[in-house]
Amino acid sequence: MQKTIFNELHKQAGAKMVEFAGFEMPIQYKMGIIHEHKVVRNAVGIFDVSHMGEFEIKGKDALAYVQKISINDALKLVPGGVQYSAMCLPDGGIVDDMLVYKIQDDFYMLVVNGACEVKDWQWCLKNSEGFDIELSNESKNINLLAVQGPKSLDTIQKLTDTNLSEIKYYNFVQGKVDGIDMIISRTGYTGELGFELYFRGNFSDAERIWNSLLNAGKEYGIELVGLGCRDTLRLEKGYCLYGNDIDETTNPLEAGLGWITKLQKGQFNGSEAISKVKAEGLKRKLVGFVVNADKFIPRHHYKIFKNGVEIGTVTSGNLSPILDKPIGMGYVKIEFSEPGNTIEIEARGKSFPAEVIKLPFV
């Protein structure tokens, strides 16, 4: 297993380590997932997400290349802007979802899921033919901490001269935190106020930032948090997880990602297939649902029924620490996708009642 630069610091802090995306990563610390979830919702938590992949694209064809490989319209980005997007196959299936950073004219950075880094990089290389660009996989050189929660700005502001309150959502600046150069990005995967800090450097730099953030946030109740609560936090907000809710068999439109699919920008990978799906109408749709049963957690691959007839599949499920109810997402036939529809989740030969609701849950 690969290790992030913070690996030993996680272990010193008492983290429970697991294999994730080929890395040894912290799933939780001593107080557990529900506690950590509430820390992020109410105060501030630090995630190590250095397993994510970062690809740099430089050159005069950089924009044209990004336009071909991504479904959003990167022409709308200005330097300092970030876009949520995805890469698709010619048949419209999703290779991965990602963030597109415009560092400057003719210089972009793609941030992809750690579990997909190798295949994404091969896909990027495969699609680079004919473009005057320089592609670089910087994943092993860039460290990434996500500082998330309502007190995240107050915490980081102690360590930087950059006015964080001036950074708009889905924008970034290049500045210093505790004297170390980094990208300070107003993004995150929790639905809370938060920042993602991209920086290079050795272990002493990483340890310095780690300790400085923990000290700066001490008065706000800052804690280290693991991937377990990252999953429950994103689920409460209805955010897709690659490999669960979206993959190469799903289309952006049926996944509810029509808002980032800019067919009007011209041709891009998968645009013809996606246009065809739009013209013909969706057959299924990703929905959120709340389970009306105690002591039951919907899980990936559980089947969804309506009056005894199978209509879909669960893609994600867990207990919502904020609602204190089991929640989930899944694909159902389009005629059952409206909020208010009652459905049943099957598990272990039993059926559990649920109701389709409008996302987000929280």
Q: pLDDT at residue 21 above 90?
A: no
Give the β-pairing of 309-320 and 325-333.
antiparallel
pTM attached to this predicted model: 0.96
* Strand 81-88 relative to strand 325-333, pairing: unpaired
Residue 54: is its pLDDT beyond 90?
yes
What mean pLDDT comes out for the span 357-361? Answer: 97
Q: What is the CATH number of the domain that holds 43?
A: 3.30.1360.120
Coil vs helix vs strand at 220: helix
Q: What is the pLDDT of residues 61-105, one digit of tens each?
A: 999 999 999 999 999 999 999 999 999 999 999 999 999 999 999
CB 115 within 8 A of CB 246: no
Both 13 and 153 in one domain: the answer is yes
Question: Over 90: is that where the pLDDT of 187 sits?
Answer: yes
Question: Residue for token digits 């289309």?
Answer: 251
Residue 266 lies in a domain: no
Sign of CA dihedral 39, 41, 44, 47: positive
State whether 115 and 31 are in the same domain: no
- Is the domain of 292 the same as that of 354? yes
Res. 304 pLDDT band, cuts 50 70 90 = very high
The per-residue b/e assignment along 51-63, b for 16 or more CB within 10 angstroms, e otherwise, is: bbbbbbbbbebbb
Confidence of residue 27 (pLDDT cuts 50, 70, 90): very high
* DSSP-derived 3-state class of residue 71: coil
Q: What gap in Å lies between CA 76 and CA 345, rounded to an integer?
A: 42
Question: Region 20-41: what's the mean pLDDT?
Answer: 96
Q: Provide φ and ψ at 230, rounded to 5°.
A: -60, -35
- pLDDT (average), residues 44-57: 98
Residue 185 shares a structural domain with residue 221: yes
Contact 79, 25 (CB under 8 A): no
Cβ neighbours of residue 44 under 8 Å, at least 6 residues apart?
Answer: 147, 148, 149, 150, 151, 152, 154, 155, 217, 220, 221, 222, 223
Residues 20-26 have a mean pLDDT of 94
pLDDT at 295 over 90: no
Rounded to an integer, the average pLDDT of 151-177 is 98
Tokens of 153: 């700005």
pLDDT band at 259 (very low <50, low <70, confident <90, very high): very high
**What does the pLDDT read at residue 221?**
98
pLDDT value for 102:
98
The confidence score (pLDDT) of residue 174 equals: 98
Residue 212 clears pLDDT 90, i.e. is over it: yes
165 and 230 belong to one structural domain:
yes
Considering the domain architecture, whether residues 94 and 146 belong to the same structural domain is answered as no
Do 45 and 100 lie in a common domain?
no
Last residue of a domain, one of 74, 105, 137: 137
Any idea which residue has 């991937």 for tokens?
A: 227
- In this prediction, residues 277-294 reach a mean pLDDT of 96
Domain interval for residue 87:
53-137
Q: Give the end of a domain, one of 90, 121, 137.
A: 137
Summarize pLDDT for 94-129 with one digit per residue, the tens: 999 999 999 999 999 999 999 999 999 999 999 999
pLDDT at 294 over 90: no
- 60 in the same domain as 42: no
What percentage of the chain reaches a pLDDT higher than 70? 100
Chain length of the chain: 362
Rounded mean pLDDT, 158-183? 98
**Number of domains the chain contains:** 3
Q: Summarize the chain as % helix, strand, coil (round to 5).
A: 25, 35, 40
pLDDT, averaged across the chain: 97
